[in-house]
Amino acid sequence: MDNKIALYGHPGCLMVRPAKVLLQNSGAPFEYIDILQDKDARTQVRTINHGNESVPTVVFPDGSTLTEPSNKILIAKLATLGCQPSRSAIVMAYLMARAMLLVQIAPLLVLLYLILEIAGVF
């Protein structure tokens, strides 16, 4: 992994996929590491994130790290390395991030609706 970017994640994290899309389309060499399959990687992520298994965690060849970066922050960091994701990759990552947000809040919206219905608001 000497000159590669390390992208630490796991399949259950909804925000890993947009980061992966940006890295895949930026031209930057990177390696995806599933922390659920690699105990050493899990330890590395915990060390970086003060005991938390926060993903995505991105480690760059210079040793700098980003934890749960927004698309905008990751794109800006890639630009400092001379890498630029395609416009279509940026749009795809943006849409994926928004879709993931909806997936996360949908159950809460249903619960809120049920509570309001029981309360007689509807």
CA angle at 114 for the pair 108 and 120, rounded to the nearest 5°: 140
Nearest to 36 by CA among 55, 10, 8: 10
Which CATH number is 16's domain given? 3.40.30.10
* Number of domains the chain contains: 1
Domain boundaries, position 66: 5-118
What pLDDT is attached to residue 120? 86
User: Model's pTM, two decimal places?
Assistant: 0.81
Task: Check if the beta carbon of residue 90 is closer than 8 Å to that of residue 22.
Answer: yes
Tell me: pLDDT of 1 over 80. Answer: no
pLDDT category of residue 29 using cuts at 50, 70 and 90: very high
